[in-house]
Amino acid sequence: MEQRIGPSIPPLQGAAADPAFVPGITGPRPAEPDAAKPREPEDAVSEETASDDPATKEEQEPSAEDAPDEGPEDAEEADEAEAAPAPDGGPVFEASDRRAKVVADHSGVRLRLDDQEAEFRWDEIGAVETESPRFGKRFTLTVHTPDRRWYPLEIEAKSRSDFKEWEADLDKVLDAYFEEAEEAEESAP
């Protein structure tokens, strides 16, 4: 008979064996199948086979009616278009540095770090927490959701005096919109 000496260690379950077990971590997207990709119609005329007659040229050149409407050309203009003012002219909190940006307004809270963005409506937010360090200039804003997840974002301030201004502006927004969302939840049957 064979016996083991030492503790009996059960096999590892969950994150140690399968990274997809950890909530919030998603795997890579599967590649798009060929059927989902747009295909050219079979009767389309290629550039090589097109002749120089005007009827063929008219078919190839898109007209002004067929051209899609172009939106703002600059990313900054698109950001300004997204951050539309509140319908009632309510308070808006906005803070940013070279990498991160946070906007809190009537629609909710938007966090952006480099090319990643997260948007939360007021009914999706459980709490908003801020932290100002004793030393340094990194202001931390954390959005907590009811399902026990949190999303922190650090913003580097130009000076430490910005912290008080940011906290006061954020308090105005939270008082105006976060309270309204809580009251709407309580009144709903």
| DSSP track, 34-95 | TTTS----TTPPPTTT--SSHHHHHHHSPPTTTSPPP--SSHHHHHHHHSPPPTT----EEE
Average predicted confidence (pLDDT) for the chain: 73
Report yes or no on 109 lying in a domain.
yes
Q: Provide the 3-class DSSP secondary structure of residue 154.
A: strand
Within a domain: 86: no
Q: How many CB atoms lie within 10 A of CB 169?
A: 16
pTM beyond 0.85, yes or no = no
Residue pair 103/110 in contact (Cβ under 8 Å)? The answer is: yes
What's the confidence (pLDDT) of residue 136? 87
Alpha-carbon separation of residue 157 from 8, 17, 91, 127, 142 (angstroms) = 53, 41, 21, 23, 16
Per-residue pLDDT band for 7 (boundaries 50, 70, 90) equals confident
Q: Which residue has the tokens 């051209």?
A: 67
pLDDT tens profile 66-82: 444 444 444 444 444 44
Whether residue 174 lies inside any domain: the answer is: yes
Kindly state whether residue 42 falls inside one of the protein's structural domains: no
Q: Residue 109: which CATH number? A: 2.30.29.30
Average of pLDDT values for 89-104? Answer: 92
What are 126-185's pLDDT values in tens digits? Answer: 999 999 988 889 999 999 999 989 999 999 999 989 999 999 999 999 999 987 666 666
Whether 111 is in a domain gets the answer yes
Q: What is the tally of structural domains in the chain?
A: 1
97: domain range? 91-184
User: What pLDDT does 54 receive?
Assistant: 52
Q: How confident is the model at residue 89 (pLDDT cuts 50, 70, 90)?
A: confident
The model's pLDDT over 35-63, given as tens digits with 9 standing for 90+, comes to 555 555 555 555 555 555 555 445 555 44
Q: How far apart are CA 18 and CA 13, in angstroms?
A: 8
CA–CA dist 143, 126 (Å, integer)? 8
Let me know if residue 15 belongs to a domain: no
Say if 32 falls within a structural domain: no
- pLDDT of 29 strictly over 60: yes
> How many CB atoms lie under 10 A from the CB of residue 113?
16
What does the alpha-carbon distance between residue 49 and residue 43 come to, in Å, rounded to a whole number? 12
Does residue 179 form part of some domain? yes
Nearest to 140 by CA among 149, 152, 150: 152
Judged against a pLDDT cut of 90, whether residue 85 lies above it is answered with no
Residue 33: the pLDDT is 64
Name the phi and psi angles at 159, rounded to 5: -145, 160
